[in-house]
Chain A
Amino acid sequence: MNFDFPDEVKAMQIQADDYLTQTNARAAARHVIEGAPSAARRDWAEMAQMGWTGLIIPEHLGGNDIGYIAQCALAYELGRHVSPAPMASSIYLVAEALVRYGSDAQKQKWLPALAEGRISACFAEAEGLSQGRGDLCAAQVANGVLSGVKKPVPDGMDAELALVVAQEDGETGLYLVELQASGVTRQVVQTIEGIREHAAITFDKAEVDLLVRGQTALTDIKQRAAVCIAFEQVGGAQACLDMAVAFAKERFAFGRAIGSFQAIKHKLADMFVAIELARSNAYFAAWALSTDARELPVAAATARLSAGKAYWLAAKENVQTHGGLGFTWELDCHLYYRRHKALKLLLGGNRVWENRLIDGLKSGLVEL
C-alpha cells in the first residue's frame, strides 16, 4: 500500500511551491483583481517550460506524460498559492478533452501549443442565468457555425482556443473554436472571484470544429477536471488554515495570544479535521483518475463535495480569525474567500455533485 504521492511527485511539488513563492503567485492574483493581468501571462510560459502544462499530454505531442498524480499534486500547490494561471481551463478541461476525444489532426493542431505554453484555452459552458445542463444551453451549431453567448468564461479574455458546449440538432456537443477568428467578440465581465479574468464571449456564426457529441463526454470531462480542482480546493483550504494558525500565535488580546482562546482553537481544529478528510478523499479520486477506475464518478463527487466543504469552512473562518484585518482588501484572506466560491460554482454546485454521488451509489458503482 502506498496511499501517498510518490517521491518524484513530492519533489516536483516542492519545486512548484518554490516557484510560486518566488514569483509571488498571490501578488499576481492580486494584480489581476486590481486590473493588471499581464504578469499572469509571463508566468504561464515559465510554467510550461517547467513541464507543468504537459503532465497529461503524450510525449509525441509535446507533453511529458508524467501523469495525473503529478497534475493533482501541482493543482494542490496552485490552489494553495491562489495562482491566477489558467491551468484548470487550459489543461484539466481543454487538454483533457482533446487527449480523450480529439482526432489525430485536432491533437496535432492544439496539444503541442498547449503543452509548450504558446497558447492558453478556455472552457465555455455557462450562459449566464440559463447555465447548467448542456442539454438546456441556448448556443446552437448549424452548418458548421456557432451562434450564442457564453458567460462567464474563466480565462476567456486571453485564450486562443475555446472548448464550447453547444447544441446541434437537439444534441449536446463539444466544439473547438478559434477565438481570433471572425464571428467572435469578447468582453471582460466582473465576477465574484476576479482572480482570473472572465469573459463574455459572443459567437456570431463562428466556425467550429466538432470534438465530440453527447452529454456523456461532457460529464466525463467535468468529473475528471473536478478531481484536479478538488486538489486546488484542498490546497486553498490548507493555506487558509496556515494563515489563521500563524496569526493566532502572534496576535495578542486580553494579555494572551488569541490562539490560546478555545473558541479560536476549536475553529482551527475543525478546519484541520475537514481538510484531512478532504485530502484523503482527493487522494482516492486521484488514484481513480489515474487508473480510470470504475469508481471514478463517485470518487470525483466525493472529493469535490468534501473539498468544497473544507474550503468554505477554512476560507470564512480564516477571515474571522483575523478580525477586522481579515475584512480588509489589503490582506489576502479575501482572495481565498473569493476563490472558494468560484471553484465551488465552476463545474456546477453541490446539488449536481450530490446527485452524481447518490446515483453512483445506487447503481452499485462502488462497494459499500
Chain B
Amino acid sequence: MDFRDTPEGAEYRKKARAFLEQHAQLEPPDSGRGYRDGNDDPAALERAREWQRIKADAGYAGITWPREYAGQGGTTLEQIIYEQEEAQFDIPRGNFFYIGLGWAMPTLFQWSNKEEILKHAGKVLRGDEIWCQLFSEPAGGSDLAALRTKAVRDGDDWIINGQKIWTSGGQYSDFGILVARNDTTQAKHKGLTCFILDMKSPGVEVRPIRQMSGDSHFNEVFFDNVRIPDSRRLGEVGDGWKVAMTTLMNERYNLVELVPPDFEQIFHLAQNTVLESGPALDDPAIREKLADLYCRAQGMTYTNFRTMSALSQGKTPGPEVSIGKLVNSGRLQESADLGSDLFEQSGMLMEEDMPMRALFQRAYLYSPGWRLGGGTDEILRNTIAERVLGLPQDVRLDKGVAFKDIPTGPTGN
C-alpha cells in the first residue's frame, strides 16, 4: 500500500510543477488566497483568460481531451495531478471556463460531430469562447425533467420559447448547452431534446441575478422565438435526458475540486488568533471543531487517493466518488463560519484590508450556493441512497404521466 505517484505520474507532476513555478508564485497560507477573484468582474475575466492562454500554450488545458480535438489525450489522473499542483499557486481563480472545459465539450465529444466540435474546441481551450449550461428553470431545478422551455421544429430549424434560470456565467457566454421540451404528450423524461445554442442569436436575453453574496454570477435567460439549426442538435430528438445526464455526470465528478478556505487556511488563522480566553488553538471547543474539519478534509484527500488508485490501475472508481461534493460543500460552510467567528466582533466588518478576514467572510456568504448548485445536498443523499445503497425510489406522482397532465403547485411551479 502506498500513495506515491506512479513513475509516469511523478514525471508529470514534476513537469507541471516546473511550469507553474515558471509562471506563478506559491501562495502563503495568510494571503487570503481565493477571495479576490469574483465571477462578475470583467477585469477578473481578463486575468483568467490570460492565464488560460498560458496553460493552453504549455499543454495544461484540455488535459483529458482527445488529441483530434486539440486536447492532450492525457489521463484523468494527470488532470488531477495538475489540479493538485495548481491549487498551491497564486493564479487567477475566476471561474469562467470550467463549464466549457469540464462539462460542455465532453458532452459534445459524445453527442456532436467532428465538424461542430472543431469549431469550438480550440477556442474553449484558450478561454476565447465561454460556455454555459442552460438546464434549470423556474419550474425545474432538482426536478430538472419538469422543465418547460419549448422546442418546435420548423423546416431545418427549431424554434425555442421559454426561460432558463440560475445560468452561471450566462452574461459572458458565447454558447450554451440547452435542454428543451419537444413533446408534451410524452412522459416527462421522454419529450426532451438538447441543442447547442449560440447565445448571440436574436431573441436571447440574459439578465443577471444578484446573489445573496452580492455578486451576480448567475442569470435568467429568456428565449423569444430563438432559431437553432437542426445541425446543432445534440443526440436524437427525444434523447435530451440522456445527453443532459452526460453533462451532469461530468459536473458531479468535477465538482470535487477544492474551494477556499482550505484546512491550512483555517488552521493558520486559528494559530494566529488570540481570544479573550487565550490563544484560539488552546481552546478545547475550537480544537474539537478543527479536529473534525481536519478529519473531513483528510478523509476527502485520501478518498481521492483511492479514486486515483483505481484510475491508475485502469479500474472504475468505487462508489466513494459520490461523496465529494456533499462533504466539501458542508465543510466549506462550517470552516467559513468558524473562521469568521475567530475574528470576534471585527468579524462583522467587511473591509478588504485584511485578506484572511475577507476570505472567510466571502466564503460565509457564498458557501450556501455550493450546497445547492450541481445537485443539492438532499438530491445527492437521494442519489447515494438509491444508486449506491440500492434503496427503493421515493413514491412518484408523475411516473408514466404525460407531461401536460402532471400536477403543479398553486403558483403554477
Contact = CB atoms under 8 A, between A and B. Distances in A.
Contacts of A143: none
A264 B380 CA distance: 14
A71 to B, nearest CB: 12
Contact of A3 (B1, B326, B394, B395): B1
Contacts of B288: 350, 354
Nearest to A245: B389
Interface stretch (A56-64, A86-94, A108-116, A275-283): A275-283
B1 A260 contact: no
A290 B267 CA distance: 28
Nearest to A266: B381
Contact of A1 (B268, B291, B294, B312): B312
Interface in B280-307: 281, 284, 287-288, 290-292, 294-296, 298-303, 305-306
Nearest to A271: B389
Nearest to B302: A280
A290 to B, nearest CB: 7
Interface stretch (A33-41, A127-135, A302-310, A338-346): A302-310
Contacts of B267: 361, 368
A355 B1 CA distance: 28
- From A2, A6, A260, A361, name the one whose CB has the most chain B CB atoms within 10 angstroms: A2
Given A273-B326, A284-B302, A302-B295, A354 B287 contact: yes
B156 interface: no
A306 B295 contact: yes
B271 interface: yes
Given A266-B385, A273-B326, A305-B295, A4 B1 contact: yes
Contact of A287 (B2, B296, B378, B393): B2
Contacts of A1: 2-6, 9, 305, 308-309, 312
B142 to A, nearest CB: 12
Contacts of B302: 3, 280-281, 283-284
B313 interface: yes
B386 interface: yes
A260 B263 contact: no
B392 A256 contact: yes
Interface residues of A, number: 51
A245 B306 CA distance: 24
Interface in A236-284: 241, 245, 248-249, 256-257, 259-262, 264-266, 268-270, 272-273, 276-281, 283-284
B305 A305 contact: no
A69 interface: yes
Contacts of B308: 1, 3
B291 A249 contact: no
B264 interface: yes
11 contacts: A1-B308, A256-B395, A257-B392, A268-B389, A269-B385, A273-B326, A278-B299, A280-B302, A281-B302, A305-B292, A357-B294
Given A249-B392, A260-B392, A268-B389, A277 B296 contact: yes
Interface of B: 1-6, 9, 29, 263-264, 267-268, 271, 281, 284, 287-288, 290-292, 294-296, 298-303, 305-306, 308-310, 312-313, 319-320, 323, 326-327, 378, 380-382, 384-386, 388-395
A312 B378 CA distance: 22
Interface in A198-244: 241
A321 to B, nearest CB: 11
A290 B384 CA distance: 33
Nearest to B382: A265
A2 B263 CA distance: 25
Interface in A290-334: 290, 301-302, 305-306, 309
Contacts of B2: 1-3, 287
Interface string A337-368: 00000000000001101110110011000001
B381 A270 contact: yes
Nearest to A242: B389
A286 interface: yes
Given A2-B309, A249-B390, A281-B295, A265 B381 contact: yes
Nearest to A287: B1
Contacts of B323: 272-273, 276-277
A264 B1 CA distance: 36
Nearest to B378: A266
A276 B326 CA distance: 12
A5 interface: yes
B298 A284 contact: yes
Contacts of B381: 265-266, 269-270
Contacts of A69: 1
Contacts of A248: 391
A295 B407 CA distance: 57
Nearest to A357: B291
Given A259-B392, A280-B306, A358 B382 contact: no
A73 to B, nearest CB: 10
Contacts of B264: 368
B3 A287 contact: yes
Given A3-B305, A277-B327, A302 B298 contact: yes
Contacts of A358: 281, 287, 290-291
A355 B283 CA distance: 10
Given A277-B296, A353-B291, 15 more contacts: A2-B2, A2-B3, A241-B389, A257-B391, A259-B392, A262-B394, A265-B391, A266-B378, A269-B388, A277-B327, A283-B306, A284-B305, A301-B291, A354-B291, A362-B271
